Amino acid sequence: MQWLFELCNEHHYVTWNKREQDGVVQLFFCHPKGSTLAQCFPTLVILDCTYKTNQWRMPLLHFVGVTSTNHTFTIAYCFMPGEKVEDYIWALKRLKDLYSDGCLPSLFITDDDQQLQTGVAEVFPEAKNLLCAFHIKRNVCANFKKSMNKDTPEDLEKIKADWDILWMSESEAMYKINLNYVERLWGKTYPNWISYVKTQWLARKEKFVYAWTIEIKHFGNRTTNRVEGQHAILKRASRFVHHLREVKT
């Protein structure tokens, strides 16, 4: 971790750290270009945590933004001791420090991490928080597979199509029609799946269904795929930095 400090200082990163008796427990770092781009394009922030890109196996919270020409850029990273609400709040407050008071992010896209969502609501109370539609669909399909009739494997593909039609409903009226269709078509055969979908996801439809999010300025971004794409770049860079460190030492 000390070597990372030195590297950040060498390249003039914006950094904050949280120290306890055992040393640094949380580190937020932002490249100068990331800070500049964040201030130029503050509207949208996409967040995700990864564990597979660092030797410390600490949660690494990755903040990503989108330019007016639809290009993805990394805003900042934050190594965290865990994924508690207070860990997220500290990281999000450091993110907030990058912006001017009158130009804060108005939308966050996250996965279904309740601690992270609580942190966003605490630090950015005026912002909207959409849930990643890709991860929701993956969970919906995974739950369906648990009760899927082995004699009709084609049901899974039909469910995928029907789910897309449902969550992409562009009006509340169409949503009600599509939900009624899904319940009538699948309710008798897969009642547990219907119950799961309604209680786990549709109870929070305003966070991902088109009819409730169509007026939000998300610029076509409804998933955390952009930040996961940046994870892949980060992994390649991490391998290079690891080799560079070995050469320098």
For the range 237-244, what are the long-range contacts, defined as Cβ-Cβ under 8 Å and sequence gap of 24 or more? Answer: 238/53, 238/54, 241/7, 242/55
Nearest CA to 74 among 85, 92, 61?
61
Report percent pLDDT > 90 for the chain: 72
- Stated as kind and residue range, the H or E segment containing 238 is helix 225-248
pLDDT of residue 235: 57
Q: Report the pLDDT value the prediction gives residue 242, as an integer from 0 to 100.
A: 44
How far apart are alpha carbons 105 and 65 in whole angstroms?
A: 10
The whole-angstrom separation of Cα 105 and Cα 199 is 30
Q: Can you list the domains of the chain with their CATH numbers?
A: 2-132+223-243 (3.30.420), 134-211 (no CATH)
pLDDT-derived band at 44, boundaries 50, 70, 90 = very high
Candidates 73, 92, 82; CA nearest to 227 is: 73
What pLDDT shows up at residue 232?
A: 59
Q: For residue 14, give the amino acid letter.
A: V
Q: Of 200, 197, 207, which Cα lies nearest the Cα of 132?
A: 207
pLDDT digits (tens, 9 = 90+) for 92-115: 999 999 999 889 999 999 999 999
Confidence (pTM): 0.88
Average pLDDT for the chain:
89
Summarize pLDDT for 170-192 with one digit per residue, the tens: 999 999 999 999 999 999 999 99
